[in-house]
Structure 1
């Protein structure tokens, strides 16, 4: 068993970043994370906590699992530039200052992030997570109650009808099976964000929001915002006092440029906590 002490590049709060992060592959509770990873066909569990000095303490069976944890937490992807640029932003500034240690928790595989995106289309987050859990638990092996993250091979052996029976809508089930049979999703981590996004949107069921989810939680990229997210739709509707369409949320994210994906995460956090301002450009 390895016990590793890790330091994040830039501000990082494990408690903030893993909040609501539990799924079929991991449990986040009391500021600690317990997650399973598949390494060369075997399952290994890592446990992570954070000391008062900010050091992340990882306990895992192998160094490979420690590296998987590094990626999942995003601790090597310093977002200090985002904090410096937008800490005084009229809309997002208070949220940025209050939650500066927040980074999105990543899935163990790109395939799981794609499943999450397809499950989450046009339904509540709670219902989407229920469907995702059910599918992962039915599809992958487990260790001590935690299931391995799916890979393309996992869903390539399923039929769309089998996934529909588990709760994933027909066209989305077909899209997942088709992509897993025709594309090595895990290799997208080696592609540029633009190239990966371009490949994904060739599939008719993959739109801007789904690409944003895969980029943030599967590839670990901050450039692509969650355009069309239901939370952002509600936020923009509240700001404008009228019903808005999903595509209009791109205007919320446009000022944040290459940080649009991370800005999405902070906006959703600010929406829940009531820490967002009302910029004049969005009030009309």
Structure 2
């Protein structure tokens, strides 16, 4: 067993970043993340915790497993520029100052992020997570109660009908199977964000919100915002005092440019914290 002491680049809070982070592949509780990874054809359990001095201590059976944890936590993806640029933003500033160590927790595979995006379409977050857990548990082996993240090969063996039986709606099930059979999703981490997004949106069921989920949680990229997220729709509707369409939420994210994805995460977190102010420029 290896014990590695890692330090994040820029501000980082493991407790903030792993809150609500449990799924079929990992458990986050009391500031500790415990996750399973498939390494060299075998399953390996890794644990991460953060010391008072900011160091993240990872215990894992191999160096490769340590590196998987490093990616999952986003330790190397410094967002100091985001904090510096938007700490005084009239809309997002209070949230950035309070939660500056927050980074989105990533899935072990791009395939799992795509599954999450498809499960999350048009249904409640709780129901989406239930369906995702059910699909992952039905598709991959487990170790100590945690299941490996799915891969294209694993998901491609399912028929749309089998996924529908697990709760994933028909068109979304078909989209997942088509993409897993026709595309090496894991290699999207090797191409630019724009190229990955362009490939994904060729599938009719993949829109801006789903691309945002895959980019944030699968590729580990901050550029693509969660356009059309239900939380952002509700926020914008409150600002404008009327019903809004999902595409209109792009206006909320436009000021944040290449940080639109991370801004999405902070907006949604700020809604829960009560730190989001309604700016006059958007209230209409």
Report the TM-score, using the length of structure 2 for normalisation: 1.00
Please state whether the residue corresponding to 1:224 is helix, strand or coil.
Answer: coil
Q: Which runs of 5+ in 1 are unaligned?
A: none
Q: Does 1:31 align with 2:31?
A: yes
Partner deviation per Cα, 1:34-92 (whole Å, 9 max, x = no partner): 00000121000001100000000000000000000000000100000000000000000
Computed over aligned residues only, the root mean square deviation of the Cα atoms, in angstroms, reads 0.4
Cα distance in structure 1, aligned partners of 2:281 and 2:228: 19
Counterparts of 1:107-126 in structure 2, within 5 Å, are 107-126=107-126
Query: Partners in 1 of 2:43 and 2:237 — Cα distance?
Result: 45
In the alignment, which residue of structure 2 is the partner of 1:219? 219
> 2-side partners of 1:282 and 1:73: how far apart?
33
The CA deviation string for residues 228-256 of structure 1, in whole angstroms up to 9 with x for no partner, is 00000011011111110000000000000
The alpha-carbon deviation at position 281 of structure 1 amounts to 1.5
Unaligned runs of 5+ in 2: none
Q: Residue in 2 aligned with 1:14? A: 14
2:240 corresponds to which residue? Answer: 240
Aligned residue for 1:11, secondary structure, equals coil
- Aligned residue in 2 for 1:167: 167
Q: SS where residue 20 of structure 2 aligns?
A: coil
- Where does residue 279 of structure 2 map in the other structure? 279
Q: How does 1:137-152 map to 2 (within 5 A)?
A: 137-152=137-152
Tell me the equivalent position of 1:3: 3
Deviation at 1:217, TM superposition (A): 0.1
Give the whole-Å Cα distance in 2 for the aligned partners of 1:169 and 1:11.
39
Query: How far is 1:170 from its partner?
Result: 0.1
**Is 2:267 the partner of 1:267?**
yes
SS at match of 1:173: helix
